[in-house]
Structure formats: structure tokens, C-alpha cells
Chains A and B, each alone.
Chain A
Amino acid sequence: GAVVSQHPSWVICKSGTSVKIECRSLDFQATTMFWYRQFPKQSLMLMATSNEGSKATYEQGVEKDKFLINHASLTLSTLTVTSAHPEDSSFYICSARWGLQETQYFGPGTRLLVL
């Protein structure tokens, strides 16, 4: 099956620093990658959709200058949380698909804790 990896799986940082999370599709070319955030006991919240080589599309209420997304290749997308604050602490999950009508496959997620 399709495999998506994320790195790091855990990150703890100080308030005000920036954190970069990588999402890779290991055995397919991902034309589209998605970034989600999930707070404890809450449902998935889509943050943004990124297509390779173009700017990400952010969902309403998500600050694009705070959550920088780069999808530079068909196998790699990055999410950078800039000037992180404790309220950004969450579970960040990426997913990827290789075609418009195809299934989304999820990475294992990254837990971010901002102190």
C-alpha cells in the first residue's frame, strides 16, 4: 500500500521558535498533500491543501504567514510553524494522494509541544 512518512514524530520547542515538519510519500508521487491538525479528543481539522509546484490553499481561519507550506517536489511537503506559541501545541498530520479521485493516505503524525 501507499506509505507516507513524517518527521519528526515528536518535537518540543520553546515559545517563539519555528518548527519544520516534513511529509514524504515513499512509494508514490503525491500530486496533492494535505495538512491537518487535531487537538485532543477533537476531530481532524484541515489546515491547507498543497499541490506540487504551486502555492498552498489555506482553510478559513488558518494563518498562512504562521503556517508556511512548501510542496517543492512530488514526494515532499513541509509545514513550518513560525514563532510557535503554546496554543499551537497539537497533533499535526499530513496526507497525500496521487490523483484527484484517489484515496488520501496519512502519515503517522507529529506531536508538537510548545513550552
Chain B
Amino acid sequence: QKEVEQNSGPLSVPEGAIASLNCTYSDRGSQSFFWYRQYSGKSPELIMFIYSNGDKEDGRFTAQLNKASQYVSLLIRDSQPSDSATYLCAAMDSNYQLIWGAGTKLIIKP
């Protein structure tokens, strides 16, 4: 069964520090990976996607992909209290369906 695993947290990070969110996936056929942020009571919003090995940066966010290790991560630099949310990792399988992780709750402490 195809799975995406995330630590449910909560992950507590002091304001201004780097938050590191991790995700592993079981399907080696997965090619694209997505990070979504979901605030409490709201729907998910896309942060970024990655499909090539290595790093992809967008502002304070960096996604990292290691296909050999089947590992995806999201780094948030200079964490702000407004970054407190649940972060969802998703892998697109060979049928173009998203396999979702259960999410990691991130808390940024002022």
C-alpha cells in the first residue's frame, strides 16, 4: 500500500529559528511532491512542489527531495508565529493521484 508518513508533532520551534518538517514515502514510482499548509479550520493551501532531487527555494521556504532515500523535507527559515499550522506532505503516484501524509503540527513560540 502506498503511504506517506509524517511525524504528527506537535513540533515546537522558537521564533526566528529554522523549522524542519520531514516526510517519507513508500512508492518509488512517485515523481512529484507537494507541501501544503493548513491553518486550523481552514482548507489546505499550496506552499510549494518539487520533482527534482535537491533543493528548491521560495522565499523563506526550502523543499528538499532525496529520491534514493524516499525522503522529502520542508525548511522554514526565520520562523514566524504566523507559520504555526499543520503542514501536509503529498506524493503524486504513477496514476497521478496524491497520496497524503497525516500532517505535522508546527508551533512557533514567540
Contacts and interface: CB of A to CB of B under 8 A. Distances in A.
Interface string B66-110: 000000000000000000000010001000111011110000000
Contacts of B42: 108-109
B43 A93 contact: yes
Q: Which range contains the number of A residues in contact with the other chain? A: 10 to 19
Nearest to A92: B43
A43 interface: yes
Given A43-B102, A49-B97, A105 B88 contact: no
Interface residues of B, number: 18
Q: Is the interface of A mostly helix, strand, loop or mixed?
A: loop
Contact of A44 (B34, B45, B49, B100): B100
A23 to B, nearest CB: 11
Contacts of A54: none
A107 B43 contact: yes
Which of A43, A49, A105, A107 is the most central at the interface, judged by chain B CB atoms within 10 Å of its CB? A43
B97 to A, nearest CB: 7
Interface in B11-43: 32, 34, 36, 42-43
Interface of B: 32, 34, 36, 42-46, 49, 88, 92, 96-98, 100-103
Given A49-B97, A100-B96, 16 more contacts: A43-B100, A43-B102, A43-B103, A44-B44, A44-B88, A103-B49, A104-B34, A104-B46, A104-B98, A105-B46, A106-B44, A107-B43, A108-B42, A108-B43, A109-B42, A109-B43
